[in-house]
A and B are shown apart, each in its own frame.
Chain A
Amino acid sequence: NAGVTQTPKFQVLKTGQSMTLQCAQDMNHNSMYWYRQDPGMGLRLIYYSASEGTTDKGEVPNGYNVSRLNKREFSLRLESAAPSQTSVYFCASSEPIHSSYEQYFGPGTRLTVT
C-alpha cells in the first residue's frame, strides 16, 4: 500500500516551459487535492477534485490546470512556467465521510523555475 505517490520529486524549469506533475493514490479515495507550499504562507489549495469527473478551483488556481484522469490519478499542469511558481507542490487525497476528513499527503515535488 503506497498511499499517495508523486512524480517527479524535483524539477527545474526555465521560464515559459511546461510540465505536468503526476499524482496517484491507491486508497480508493474519492477526493484529491493539489497544494503549493511557500515559506511563511503555509499550504494553499490550487485545485481539488471532489470525485472522479469533477474539478474545482481552490485559492490560487491561476497558471495551473488539472486533470482527474480516473479515480486514482490527479495531475497538475503548468502550461507556461513562471518564477512565481517556484514552490513545493503537494498532492493529497481523502475520503471525507469514512475517515473524518483526514488528508493523506504525497512526498511533495520541489519545483524551481529560473
Chain B
Amino acid sequence: AQTVTQSQPEMSVQEAETVTLSCTYDTSENNYYLFWYKQPPSRQMILVIRQEAYKQQNATENRFSVNFQKAAKSFSLKISDSQLGDTAMYFCAFIVSGTYKYIFGTGTRLKVLA
C-alpha cells in the first residue's frame, strides 16, 4: 500500500529565514505525482507546488522549492524568505498516474514568527 509520512507535526521559523518541511512516501510504482498543499487558518486548501516523478529537475515556484530524491522516496519543501502569510498547515500528497486515489500525509503545522 502507498503511504505518505510527514514526521514533523509542528515547526516554527523566524520571518525572512528559510525552513524545510520533510515528506517521505512509499510506493512500488514508477510514474506518479507529488504535491505540497497549504491550508491557512481560512481552511482553504491551496496547491503550493507539484512534481512529476519522471522529471529529474526539482520544481520551483517563487520562494517555494522541492528537493525530490526519487531513490530515497523523499520530497521535502523548502520555503525561503519566510513570510507571516506562510503560517499554515502543509500537507504532502501523492498519486499514481492513471489512478484516482490521492494519499495525503498527516500535515506539518508551520508558524512564522515576527
A interface residue numbers (CB < 8 A to B): 31, 33, 35, 40-45, 48, 50, 56, 58-59, 88, 90, 92, 96, 100-103, 105, 107-108
By secondary structure, the A interface counts as: strand
Q: Check B47 for interface membership: any CB of A closer than 8 A.
A: yes
By secondary structure, the B interface counts as: loop
Q: Taking CB as reference atom, which chain A residue is nearest B91?
A: A42
Q: Answer whether A41 and B35 are a contact pair too, CB < 8 Å, given A102-B47, A107-B43.
A: no
Which residue from B35, B44, B100, B106 sits with its C-beta under 8 Å from A42? B106
Which of A42, A48, A58, A101 has its CB near the most chain B CB atoms (within 10 A)? A101
B interface residue numbers (CB < 8 A to A): 4, 6, 9, 33, 35, 42-45, 47, 50, 52, 91, 93, 95, 97, 100-102, 104-107
Q: Which residues of A contact B4 (CB under 8 A)?
A: 42
Please state if B102 and A45 are interface contacts (CB–CB under 8 Å).
Answer: yes
Q: Which residues of B contact A101 (CB under 8 A)?
A: 33, 35, 50, 95, 97
Q: Which residues of A contact B104 (CB under 8 A)?
A: 35, 42-44
Which residue from A44, A48, A102, A105 sits with its C-beta under 8 Å from B100? A48
Please state if A102 and B50 are interface contacts (CB–CB under 8 Å).
Answer: yes
Which residue from B9, B93, B100 sits with its C-beta under 8 Å from A96? B100
Q: Taking CB as reference atom, which chain B residue is nearest A9?
A: B43
Assembled-state Cα–Cα distance A40/B102 (Å): 17
Which residue from A40, A45, A103, A105 sits with its C-beta under 8 Å from B44? A105
Assembled-state Cα–Cα distance A72/B102 (Å): 20
